[in-house]
Amino acid sequence: MHTLSQLKSGELSGIQRLSLSENLTSFPMEILSLADSLEILDLTNNNLSSLPEELLQLQKLKILFVSDNDFEELPEVLGQCLNLEMIGFKSNKIKHVPENALPPKLRWLILTDNQIAKMPDSLGERPRLQKLALAGNRLTELPQTLAKSTNLELVRISANQLTECPDQLLGLPKLAWFAFSGNPFSYSDIVIKSAPEIPSNSYELLEELGRGASGVISKARWNQQQTEHHNLFQNDIAVKVFKGEVTSDGYPKDELNACLKVGNHPNLVKSLAQVNEIGLNGKGCLALIMSLIPPHFDNLGQPPNFETCTRDTFPDDFFLSIAQIQKIVGQMEDVFHHLHSSQVCHGDLYAHNALFDEEANIIVGDFGAATMYHMLNEKQQAQIKQIEHRALNYFIEDLLSVCREEDKTSETYKNLERKIIG
């Protein structure tokens, strides 16, 4: 994080990335002094509500983050920024997105958690668009022009007011990661009892293990006072306590229901019990009690970066043998078939959402983008499965990218390549 005083003093001259968070109410014009170098500008967590026309002077600007501010309209000046590729305006108060507010080279648009009721037709006129995050708005429909978004790979439209499944998305040739729960068209009133409900005082949270968009996972232990369910479960447990608000993937309750609908599988994090103590005022505790993953499991991949946009990344020194890849792929294929036999789309089938050990055993988690789709018609269900199968192919392709060089001539490697193509 940088400071305004550093910027004004000239100390930051020549930098490519600038981050300012100082309760700003107006755009610091001193930023324009960085026009010859600035590529990434992060003004998250301020009190901004407008951007000046002078933003156009930042001709090298590629990425702009202005989340957690006070914008009510996406600034039209963005549409004139010829090199701008990524825009993040999450958690503002945006109600209106003008037709000409989207830059021509747009690849990645994040408008999660706003108040948008309609997106402009120009959204489908941005041929480089790969990632689109619109969860947590008030959308009742999507532009039909999105049918032309042939490079679109990841879409988040959960927690909106969409009354019909957006068929213009389902046939897109590259779409692979799709989350759409929490809309009227995907509403389900089924009650899932695959894991018993227990009170939140049944366990004690210990050290934090990780956190994501929808909640915090902690190691936990059962309280000394026995519960009626305690003797059914193992001692090594983890608890995911869900946040109450909408996330980049949708509502926490939808994540919990999708996870419970899938049930247990050897390569999925095992669900043991649920806590559902949400009252009429929305307060309370929503949590999932799970088996604790053994400590010898490590992350299989790392999330995409600005450059890869939708594809996983790996450390430079990370390689797998073709035997390991084949075993991992076989397990992930089994997970895929298990999910879709329950009519659940994971929505985030990635290496970075899987853990593995030295014997190439994997455990898949993170159901934040998962969606039940049993309410859709037969054709739509087949298309949803096809979309996620594309994610499976990308997963295989990403693993082959870290295959040891000496294994790339093997028949197994060639077979996996054919599987992607086929």
Which domains are present in the chain? Answer: 1-175 (3.80.10.10), 200-291 (3.30.200.20), 298-421 (1.10.510.10)
Say what the alpha-carbon torsion angle 33, 39, 44, 50 is, to the nearest 10 degrees.
Answer: 60
Spans of the chain, pLDDT less than 70: 224-234, 279-283, 422
pTM for the whole structure: 0.93
Report the alpha-carbon distance of residue 126 to residue 68 in Å, rounded: 25
Q: Which residues of 354-370 are buried (b: 16+ CB within 10 A; e: fewer)?
A: bbbeeebbbbbbbbbbb
CA 46 vs CA 15, 26, 91, 92, 230: distances in Å: 21, 9, 11, 10, 46
Amino acid at 397: E
CA 106 vs CA 55, 102, 110: distances in Å: 16, 7, 11
**Three-class secondary structure of residue 390 per DSSP:** helix
| Strands 271-276 and 215-222, sheet pairing | unpaired
Pinpoint the alpha helices (H) of 136-236. Answer: 167-170
Rg (CA), the chain: 23
Report the alpha-carbon distance of residue 280 to residue 348 in Å, rounded: 31
Query: Quick one: tokens of 316?
Result: 């430079």
Q: Which phi and psi angles does 224 have, rounded to 5°? A: -60, -40
Report the alpha-carbon distance of residue 297 to residue 249 in Å, rounded: 25
Q: What number of helices (H) and strands (E) belong to the chain? A: 6, 18
Q: What's the pLDDT score for residue 213?
A: 76
How many angstroms separate the first and last alpha carbons of the chain?
A: 47
Report the alpha-carbon distance of residue 96 to residue 139 in Å, rounded: 11
240 known member of a binding site: yes
Query: Quick one: tokens of 159?
Result: 């927690």
Q: What's the pLDDT score for residue 211?
A: 82
DSSP string, 5-68: HHHHHTTTTT-SEEEB-S--SS--GGGGGGTTT--EEE--SS------GGGGG-TT--EEE--S
Q: What's the pLDDT score for residue 13?
A: 94
Q: What's the pLDDT score for residue 251?
A: 84
Q: 297 and 328 in contact (C-beta within 8 Å)?
A: no
- Residues 6+ away with beta carbon under 8 Å from 368: 179, 212, 213, 214, 247, 248, 249, 250, 255, 347, 348
Q: What's the pLDDT score for residue 7?
A: 93
In 227-307, beta strands by DSSP E: 237-242, 271-276, 286-291, 298-299
Q: What's the pLDDT score for residue 234?
A: 64
